[in-house]
Amino acid sequence: MGNALRFLYKNCSQPTTTESQSLGPHGVSAQNVGVSALAHDILHFEVTSQVPEGLSKHVVSSKKAQSNWYKKLLQAWKQAKPPPRTPEETARLVIETLKRHQKADVEGLLAFYGLPLPHTLVELSTGAPSTLPNGVKYELHTLPVDVKAVADGDTITVYVSTTDPRESSSVPKEVQLAAIQRSKARAERNYPKADALHKKITDQNYRVINIQNEEILAKKYRIRLRGIDAPESAMPYGKQAKEELANLVQGKCEVMLKKGLAWHYTAYDRRTELANWEKEARAKRVGLWASKNPEEPWEWRKDQREGR
């Protein structure tokens, strides 16, 4: 995952009055949900062949023509490597995919999702430097992380909304359909059927999560922090390591080394800065280094396997 993990919470806040001129279909600013709303509607179209309600107020073409747009957008979205992540990238994909259609319709579709209009887009520059820290390949834009999802000092479970551009093109069709059917079952108060459908979803490593009264289909990720090995929960300092990681879900995993709550895991990562941070923690005798001879987690796990 690189030398840092950055967990970003989904912004679900309501817009201020000054944002009211650039609202997407969900009543929040395009910066927050424009890309996600389009990704959601494309996936929904793949399952139901239905275009979103309210779109006809923004465009002049028929529902049949709108269905044709979403077929093309679905194909273009799946072929994009990687899928668009920003409002600007998404607007360019829409414009390129629907360039043979009426200008008014293309602009109406963009306005419906609060995406940038063609005349507001600047020319793409080449060779632009990456905004990610050195060694980081990608970010996971997760939903809010539950403290219960922290297994120990070096492992955490997170969920990423399937409307995220990185996820939207890879959701299994049976999961999409189960999520839609589950929502209908709950609306009909058929809770046994809804529970059975949710199990079908979780068996595929997905989950429906309720955030601020909105149900979100999300992909589950179990993340093992690179380069460190923290004490297991049953070991001395295991509880402290787990609590520290829970407090650092937006921080870097190497902080655990600085606080003396993990070993440098040289079997998987030999970066010198990690070795130096462990050395400094040892010298200061902080955390687990307050003990004279703390047991290494890998040796402890070996003993457990061998029944010692």
257 and 208 co-located in one domain: no
219 and 255 co-located in one domain: no
Q: Is residue 12 part of a domain?
A: no
Decide: 35 and 165 in contact? Cβ < 8 Å.
yes
41 and 97 co-located in one domain: yes
Query: Looking at residue 259, what is its pLDDT?
Result: 86
Query: Looking at residue 130, what is its pLDDT?
Result: 55
Query: Looking at residue 250, what is its pLDDT?
Result: 58
> 105 or 119: which carries more pLDDT confidence?
105
Residue 133 one-letter amino acid: P
Domain boundary pick from 161, 191, 224: 224
Q: What is the mean pLDDT of residues 274-289?
A: 90
Decide: 142 and 216 in contact? Cβ < 8 Å.
no
Domain region containing 157:
147-224
240 and 212 co-located in one domain: no
46 and 102 co-located in one domain: yes
Encode pLDDT of 86-96 as tens digits. Answer: 888 888 899 88
The answer, yes or no, to whether residue 191 has pLDDT greater than 90, is yes
pLDDT band, very low/low/confident/very high, at 270 (cuts 50, 70, 90):
confident
The answer, yes or no, to whether residue 297 has pLDDT greater than 70, is yes
Q: Is residue 131 part of a domain?
A: no
Q: Tell me the pLDDT of the chain averaged across its residues.
A: 79
CB-based burial of residue 151 (10 Å sphere; 0-12 exposed, 13-18 middle, 19+ buried)?
A: middle
| Residue 195: Cβ within 10 Å count | 13
Q: What are phi and psi of 150, to 5 degrees?
A: -90, 110
Q: Is residue 139 part of a domain?
A: no
184 and 162 co-located in one domain: yes
Q: How many domains does the chain have?
A: 3
113 and 193 co-located in one domain: no
Q: Is residue 130 part of a domain?
A: no
Domain boundary pick from 120, 135, 155: 120
Low-confidence winner among 39-43, 113-117, 247-251 (lowest mean pLDDT): 247-251
Q: Is residue 113 part of a domain?
A: yes
The answer, yes or no, to whether residue 177 has pLDDT greater than 50, is yes
Query: Looking at residue 137, what is its pLDDT?
Result: 62
Residue 122 one-letter amino acid: V
Domain boundary pick from 189, 224, 259: 224
201 and 160 co-located in one domain: yes
Query: Looking at residue 253, what is its pLDDT?
Result: 59
* Among 38, 101, 43, residue whose Cα is nearest residue 68: 101
261 and 293 co-located in one domain: yes
Q: Is residue 216 part of a domain?
A: yes
Query: Looking at residue 29, what is its pLDDT?
Result: 43
- Please tell me the pTM assigned to this model: 0.49
208 and 235 co-located in one domain: no
Buried b (16+ CB within 10 A) or exposed e, 80-89: eeebbeebbb
Encode pLDDT of 136-175 as tens digits. Answer: 566 677 888 777 888 888 888 888 888 777 777 788 888 8
Q: Is residue 136 part of a domain?
A: no
The answer, yes or no, to whether residue 9 has pLDDT greater than 60, is no
CA dihedral sign, ordered 120, 96, 91, 98: positive
Provide the percentage of residues in the chain whose pLDDT is more than 90: 19
Q: Is residue 213 part of a domain?
A: yes
> 131 or 69: which carries more pLDDT confidence?
69
pLDDT band, very low/low/confident/very high, at 10 (cuts 50, 70, 90):
very low
**d(C-alpha 302, C-alpha 23), whole Å:** 56
* Among 46, 43, 16, 45, residue whose Cα is nearest residue 31: 16
